[in-house]
Structure 1
Amino acid sequence: MIQTNATFALGEQQVAVRDLVRRVALEKVAPRAAAIDASAEYPQDMFDLLNELGLFLLPFPESYGGANDLLSGCVAVEELGRVCYNTAYILFMQWLPIGAIIGGGTREQQDRYLPDLAAGRTRGAFSLTEAQSGSDVSGMKTRAVRDGAGYRISGAKIWCTNAAKSDFVLVAARVDGPDKSGINFFIVPTDTPGFEIGRKEDKSGARGVPSNALFLDNVVVGEEQRIGPEGDGFRSVMEALNGSRPIVAARGVGLAQGAIDHATDFISNRRAFGRTVSDFQGIRWMVADMEIQTEAARQLTYRAATMVDAGITGQAMAKAAAIAKTFSSDTAMKVASDAVQLFGAAGISAEYPIGRYFRDAKVLQIIEGTNQIQRNLIARTMLGREQEARA
Structure 2
Amino acid sequence: MTVDRILPTEEAHDLLDLTHDLATRELAPKAADFEARGEFPREVLRTLGRSGLLGLPYPESDGGAGQPYEVYLQVLEVLAGSWLAIAEAVSVHTLSCYPVYAHGSEQQRKMLPDLLGGELLGAYCLSEPQGGSDAAALTTRAVPDGDDWLVTGVKAWITHAGQADFYNIFCRTGGPGATGISCLLADAGTPGLHPQKPERTMGLRSSAPAQVVLEELRLPADRLVGAAGSGFRIAMEALDAGRLGIAACAVGLAQAAVDYAAAYARERTQFGKPIAAFQGIGFMLADMATQVSAARALMLAAARLKDAGRPFSVEAAKAKLFATDVAMKVTTDAVQVLGGYGYVADHPAERWFREAKVLQIVEGTNQIQRLVISRSL
Give 1:10 shift.
4.9
Question: Map of 1:1-391 to 2, 5 A cutoff?
Answer: 3-8=1-6, 10-65=8-63, 66-112=65-111, 114-312=112-310, 316-382=311-377
Distance 1:217 1:7 in 2: 49
Distance 1:310 1:363 in 2: 30
* Local SS of the residue matching 1:199: coil
Query: Contact 2:48–2:118 (CA<8 Å) still a contact in 1?
Result: no
- Point out where structure 1 has 5 or more consecutive residues left out of the alignment: 383-391
Distance 2:99 2:33 in 1: 32
Poorly superposed stretches of 4+, deviation over 4 Å: none
1:307-344 CA distances to partner (integer Å, 9 max, x unpaired)? 222122xxx31101111111111110000000010010
Query: Contact 1:104–1:237 (CA<8 Å) still a contact in 2?
Result: no
Aligned-residue sequence identity (percent) comes to 38
* Local SS of the residue matching 2:205: coil
- Point out where structure 2 has 5 or more consecutive residues left out of the alignment: none
TM-score by length of 1: 0.92
Give 1:138 shift.
2.7
Give 1:205 shift.
1.1
Query: Contact 2:82–2:256 (CA<8 Å) still a contact in 1?
Result: yes
Distance 2:67 2:59 in 1: 5
Give 1:249 shift.
0.8
* Local SS of the residue matching 2:196: strand
Query: Contact 1:99–1:241 (CA<8 Å) still a contact in 2?
Result: no
Query: Contact 2:95–2:238 (CA<8 Å) still a contact in 1?
Result: no
1:144-202 CA distances to partner (integer Å, 9 max, x unpaired)? 11222222111111111102111221111111121111111111222222221111111
The one-letter amino acid paired with 1:44 is R
Distance 2:216 2:24 in 1: 47
Aligned partner of 1:388 in structure 2 is none
Aligned partner of 1:389 in structure 2 is none
Give 1:27 shift.
2.3
Distance 1:194 1:57 in 2: 29
1:61-98 CA distances to partner (integer Å, 9 max, x unpaired)? 12113214222211111011111111212222321211
Q: How large is the RMSD of aligned CA atoms in angstroms?
A: 1.5
Query: Contact 1:13–1:72 (CA<8 Å) still a contact in 2?
Result: no
User: How many equivalent pairs are there?
Assistant: 376
Shifted more, 8-17 versus 249-258: the winner is 8-17
The one-letter amino acid paired with 1:257 is Q
The one-letter amino acid paired with 1:98 is C
Distance 1:244 1:68 in 2: 16
Distance 2:45 2:96 in 1: 16
Give 1:11 shift.
4.3
The one-letter amino acid paired with 1:308 is K
The one-letter amino acid paired with 1:96 is L
Query: Contact 1:175–1:231 (CA<8 Å) still a contact in 2?
Result: yes
Query: Contact 1:159–1:211 (CA<8 Å) still a contact in 2?
Result: yes
TM-score by length of 2: 0.96
